[in-house]
Amino acid sequence: MIRLFAAVAIPEEIGRALQARQKDVEGARWRPLEALHITLRFFGDLREDVARDLDTELSAVGGRPFELALEGAGAFGDGGDIHAIWAGVQENPELRHLARACETAARRAGLKAESRHYRPHVTLAYTRRPNPDEVARWIQANNLLKSPGIWVDRFGLYSSRQTKEGSAYRLEAEYPLG
């Protein structure tokens, strides 16, 4: 079994700017530079044969290169149940089209439909029972976040494995756009 997801990588210069914001929430497990990405579709744990079928379907995903930008900040969960802190992604029809194409590829490879609403973001930290006031202050301090444009001319299929430090990701395949 291999745990897979499709994502757009965050360029190093944008990632370094995000890393400068990774502070002031006690107990937050801030994500390293190489883990910063915008998930298009989480596929979960797959058998190797299904992963090969998925790779074939993803390689057929079309689309043109496009530009996107990060905008805003927030958290998933409320109060004591906050579990992630994120940077938002400015509304982008091309990104949504690419996410839908990854969903279609997953369905063609035999995976069940994703039931969650797609909300593009970059996870900056995972948390366990953080102080909600600290998280609220962090969001308020970072809510005007706006990145320069990020050129997207490819997306990747990544594997994920658990380590003592959290999830570690590896690029398994890359798919050019255009």
Which helix or strand (DSSP H or E) is residue 37 part of? strand 37-46
pLDDT of residue 106: 98
The DSSP secondary structure of 83-151, one letter per residue, reads -EEEEEE---HHHHHHHHHHHHHHHHTTPPPP-SPP--EEEEEE-SS--HHHHHHHHHHHTT-BPPPEE
pLDDT of residue 167: 84
Across residues 81-99, what is the average pLDDT?
97
CB 5, CB 46: distance < 8 Å: no
Across residues 110-128, what is the average pLDDT?
95
CA distances from 16 to 6, 13, 22, 37, 142 (A): 22, 5, 10, 13, 15
Query: Which structural domain range is residue 8 located in?
Result: 2-176
Query: What is d(CA 106, CA 84) in angstroms, rounded to the nearest whole number?
Result: 25
Summarize pLDDT for 5-33 with one digit per residue, the tens: 999 999 999 999 999 999 999 999 999 99
Tell which residue, 24, 40, 30, has the closest CA to residue 119.
Answer: 40
Which CATH number goes with the domain that contains 38? 3.90.1140.10
Summarize pLDDT for 147-169 with one digit per residue, the tens: 999 999 999 999 999 887 778 89
Residue 75, Cα to own-chain centre: how many angstroms? 14
Query: What is d(CA 114, CA 92) in angstroms, rounded to the nearest whole number?
Result: 20
CB 152, CB 8: distance < 8 Å: yes
Backbone angles phi, psi at 52, to 5 degrees: -65, -40
CA distances from 144 to 70, 71, 90, 121, 138 (A): 10, 7, 12, 15, 11
pLDDT level of residue 85 (50, 70, 90 thresholds): very high
pLDDT of residue 80: 82
Which helix or strand (DSSP H or E) is residue 57 part of? helix 48-59
Which tokens go with 62? Answer: 């079309």
pLDDT of residue 121: 98
% of the chain beyond a pLDDT of 90: 93
Question: Which residue type sits at 34?
Answer: E
Mean pLDDT, the chain, integer: 96
Across residues 130-147, what is the average pLDDT?
97
Summarize pLDDT for 41-66 with one digit per residue, the tens: 999 999 999 999 999 999 999 899 99
| Residue 165 or 120, more confident | 120
Question: Looking at the whole model, is its pTM more than 0.75?
Answer: yes
What total number of domains does the chain contain? 1
